[in-house]
Chains A and B, each alone.
Chain A
Amino acid sequence: MTHLPYILASYGLFAGLAGILAIGAALRLKAARTKLATLENSALRRSGAPTSQ
């Protein structure tokens, strides 16, 4: 294959960038979901309603 380093660099850059963005978004989503669930459960507990836990 001709120009292999340039091709590998392009695909590598894409894979790296896509991986960082996707993993970053997934981790952020998971953290936000956990925090929101905790807060909503404690708010429900305070109001006396039955919680999901």
Chain B
Amino acid sequence: MSASQSFVARTGSLFHRYANPGRFLRLGTRLQPWLTWPALFFTLAGLGWGLFYAPADWQQGDSVRIMYVHVPAAILASSGYAALAVCGLLSLVWRHPLADLAAVEIGPVGACITALCLATGSLWGKPMWGTWWVWDARLTSVLVLFFLYLGHIALIRAFDDPQRGYRAAAILALAGAVDLPIIKFSVQWWNTLHQPDSITLTGAPTMSSSMLWPLGLSMLGISLGFAAIVVARLRAAVMESRVRSLLSSTRRRGENA
């Protein structure tokens, strides 16, 4: 066995440890309160701080407060799609059964958060730019991301055989991941109306700490909330799949009797 094959096999066995639905349900049940309650606390703290106590911007006035919703939504829109692409990879390479279910559940939540990002961006753009929408590279690439989410949701349910739907959606998720660096670097590659990033991994933030702290808290809270909703939906999906298999085995037993 070559080094790359053994790496694939080792990684596959690591992922398959968590492919067991019963094990996932136990893990999900334990994880759920640790995601839900901190999500609620940090979101309320971050948004409350941003809305009532953080200072207004000297140029944007109070409309800067929209940032405390818009920025977490924008980051989660991209991260959610990256998670979808990872699920696609796990599904195509290792045939991980939970990856397919996770992709089904992440898609609608990701589409909602991307719609929220676009809507709050428009609500900020109208008073600041004087328009709801421009065909700017950043805005257009995020709109493409929203359509990718819708395409994924439609494709995964488009086949009578669910396995074919999972496979097609996984390919779309992987191909659509090309949009993620375009979104990230659009403000550098093109001359856009959208401002460049205020927070980067490599440089110091170009934002006052009085705004950075509430933004960090709302980012943390909304991210935990996203994870809590996905875990709850995934737990429900696993239970629904067990219900379906129990019902079909009961039906088979009734037919044989």
Interface: B120 (CB within 8 A): yes
Residues of B within 8 Å of A, CB-based: how many? 37
Q: Chain A residues near B246 (CB, 8 Å)? A: 36, 39-40, 43
The verdict on A28 contacting B69 (CB below 8 Å), with A3-B61, A7-B51, A40-B246 known, is: no
- Main DSSP-derived SS at the A contact region: helix
- Main DSSP-derived SS at the B contact region: helix
Q: Chain A residues near B243 (CB, 8 Å)? A: 32, 35-36, 39
Interface: B87 (CB within 8 A): no
Interface: B124 (CB within 8 A): yes
Residues of A within 8 Å of B, CB-based: how many? 27
A10 to B62, CA, bound (A): 12
Q: Chain B residues near A25 (CB, 8 Å)? A: 229, 232-233, 236
Q: Which residues of B contact A (CB under 8 A)?
A: 43, 47, 51, 56, 61-63, 65-66, 69-70, 73, 109, 112-113, 115-116, 119-120, 123-124, 126-127, 225, 228-229, 232-233, 235-236, 239-240, 242-243, 246-247, 250
6 interchain pairs, CB-CB under 8 A: A3-B62, A7-B51, A10-B69, A17-B113, A21-B112, A35-B243
